[in-house]
Amino acid sequence: MQRRSRGINIGLLLLLSQIFHVGISNIPPVTLATLALNIWFFLNPLKPLLSSCLSVEKCYQQKDWQRLLLSPLHHVDDWHLYFNMASMLWKGIHLEGRLGSRWFAYVITTFSLLTGVVYLFLEFALAELMDEPDFRRNCAVGFSGVLFALKVLNNHYCPGGFVNVLGFPVPNKFACWAELLAIHFISPGTSFAGHLAGILVGLMYVCGPLRKIMETCSGIFPSNVDYPGQQYYFNNLGYFGYQDYYPRGRPGYYEEVPRNYDAYTAGLSEEEQLERALRASLRDQGCSAL
């Protein structure tokens, strides 16, 4: 696994363009810090990809546990970074505004570590059940597992509606599973187990005991701690607005104000942007192989 070198990192330039079009001041602090951290490690990797990717053989058998921390922060190429961080941008705007910055930082940290642990468990289980040692050597890198977990949260907090996956309308509650299959149909080289691990971690949070365990372990800050008054929010229809937030469930209201994001999204949904980036990455790989 090697990072492909190129004269111009087009994916990175597109990502920076999208960030500046949104406006740095409009991006919540933890989301912005996550974007900055991933861009920094792309430009200044701590270790080569083969020394930071996550596998059962390297992490469990050779006890190289630092890979749990390194693997989410490293990316194979600029397109890998682009569609992961473009997705993080929108998920962060939605979720950090809802959960509060401190809790969202806690969620990101927990998901980053736990997704890696679940990935190792899945690969180990496959190696044992299928008697195929190659699963122990499968090495994964990137932030996409965490993004799948956040996608589960986003769909949980915004149920109903449909998303476009490869041109087909899919109900929100099935969107994660549809995207899991679609990504591996378009780009078979991606880590199916890594993305599945993210979905399972997200389900552990919204349907299982993970959130209660996190609340018990934290004991110092609840969700929404940074937003005691009005909360800004964004939705997929190109609107933003605010609503009064009451931590004890008292009634509030919201008011929507139209805002046009087409100038920097080309009118595409998050899923359509992801599909376009994947196709562009595949075309780029084909050209570099010549």
- Indicate which residues carry an active-site annotation: 144, 195
DSSP state string for 134-153? HHHH--B-SSHHHHHHHHHH
238 exposed, middle or buried (CB, 10 Å; 0-12, 13-18, 19+)?
Answer: middle
Cβ–Cβ < 8 Å for 56, 65: no
What is the rounded distance in angstroms from the CA atom of residue 222 to the CA atom of residue 228?
11
* Residue 245 CB contacts under 8 Å (≥ 6 apart), including other chains: 224, 227, 228, 229, 230, 231, 252
For 167, residues 6+ apart whose C-beta sits below 8 A from its C-beta are none
| Tokens read off for 53 | 């990717």
- List alpha helices for the chain, DSSP H: 10-22, 29-43, 49-52, 67-70, 78-99, 101-129, 134-137, 144-157, 175-186, 192-206, 210-218, 262-265, 270-288
Strand order, beta sheet including 230-234: 230-234, 239-244, 254-258
- The C-alpha atoms of residue 142 and residue 87 are separated, in whole angstroms, by 13
Q: Strand, helix or coil at 60? A: helix
